Amino acid sequence: MLKTLDVVIGLTVVLLIFSMAVTVITQALTSLAGRRGRHLKAGLADLLEQLGIPSREASEQIAESLLRHPMIAEGRRKLGTVIHREEFTKLLLDFASGNGPATLDTEHQGVLKKVIADAGIKDPAQALKNVRAMALQLEISNPELSNHMRDALALLHEASSDFVAKINSWFDQTIDRVSQRFTHYTHWITMGVAIGVVLVVQLDIVAVADRLWIDDQFRGTIVANATKQFSDQGANSKVDPRPYYDLLSSTALITLPLDGNWVRRISDVRKVPGMVLAVLLISLGAPFWYNTLKNLLRLRSALAEKDDVQRAERQAIPPEGGAKTLAAGGSGIPAPAWLKGERGEMTAVG
């Protein structure tokens, strides 16, 4: 039982260290490309069209201006990746009034101001001023309220209109769909990165499983290292991948392109099923394998403790006066009931 569990733990450790690499590369690619901000921009553009902005070009320009606002943008050039509903509403009023630190060009400002006026707010500048004054009064009278709650109540009281109603009706659903689209996009990027990593190191997960099953020393080293790292650092520990990379490389279970045999080994068709399986498993992500490893190590600890108790019970000497044992040689096995009672002296025969 423990051997099978150790094999599963070893496979989980290998999948974890490579999924960690895939996760880091995926995050770097999405961050450099600014994909989260772009997805948010597209979602806000959809929402602006729902509010009444007549063209896609205008809605995208306004959405980009929102995400490049000094209070929203990430750094000087990157689009912001987070915007709250109340921030979105107040910034639109600010852009329509033309009094804020960031402004739209005349054409798009006119389009936005007309949409807001048609939705019930004729003077965006005055409405925004009233909202700030109401938020201040709420802070004085109800200091226990959070900032976003004060802003939400202030907008409902001082900018109550079809414009605010539309935003409140559609904003949360829009952000949920943005998150869903970004997650779907990230899954495809993760799959592509996983394919690249597996091809580069030629990770054959079937070969790793076979080696773990037949090589006790290899299996024991991986399990011992994983157990030590988790026991030393606790639940918030981070697995150091370097010892595992070295171990896999020394046993020829992974092959880097620097190796002269890299081309010859990757041409071996027997590696294809294991590499395909490795891609599918690694693409599940580092958090999945990290939590799986923690649970497996807890299970192994419990089973090992139970196994030790059972071994101690088997090796225990029965108390004096108890049932006699079968073997005169001291096997320690209790005598069955049908052997108890008077028996002849077998040595006297003959």
Domain parsing of the chain, residue ranges: 2-27+186-301, 34-178
Alpha-carbon distances of 111 from 53, 54, 61, 62, 256, rounded to whole Å = 7, 8, 11, 10, 58
Q: Closest Cα to residue 175, out of 264, 74, 80, 53?
A: 80
What is the C-alpha to C-alpha distance for residues 198 and 283, in angstroms, rounded to an integer? 11
Residue for token pair 């010859």: 264
Please check the confidence at residue 327 and state whether its pLDDT lies above 50: no
The confidence score (pLDDT) of residue 328 equals 45
Instruction: Judge contact between 205 and 277, C-beta under 8 A.
Output: yes
The confidence score (pLDDT) of residue 334 equals 56
The pLDDT tens digits for 95-118 are 998 887 788 888 999 999 999 999
The confidence score (pLDDT) of residue 234 equals 53
Instruction: Judge contact between 229 and 299, C-beta under 8 A.
Output: no
**212 phi-psi bin (left φ>0, alpha ψ -120 to 50, beta other):** alpha
DSSP-assigned letters across all residues of 24-61: HHHHHHHHHHTHHHHHHHHHHHHHHHHHT---HHHHHH
Alpha-carbon distances of 306 from 225, 299, 316, rounded to whole Å = 22, 11, 15
Q: Residue 328: how many CA atoms within 13 Å on its side-chain side?
A: 1
The pLDDT tens digits for 27-51 are 999 888 888 999 999 999 999 999 9
The pLDDT tens digits for 295-320 are 888 888 888 777 667 777 766 655 55
State the pTM of this model.
0.73
The confidence score (pLDDT) of residue 308 equals 67
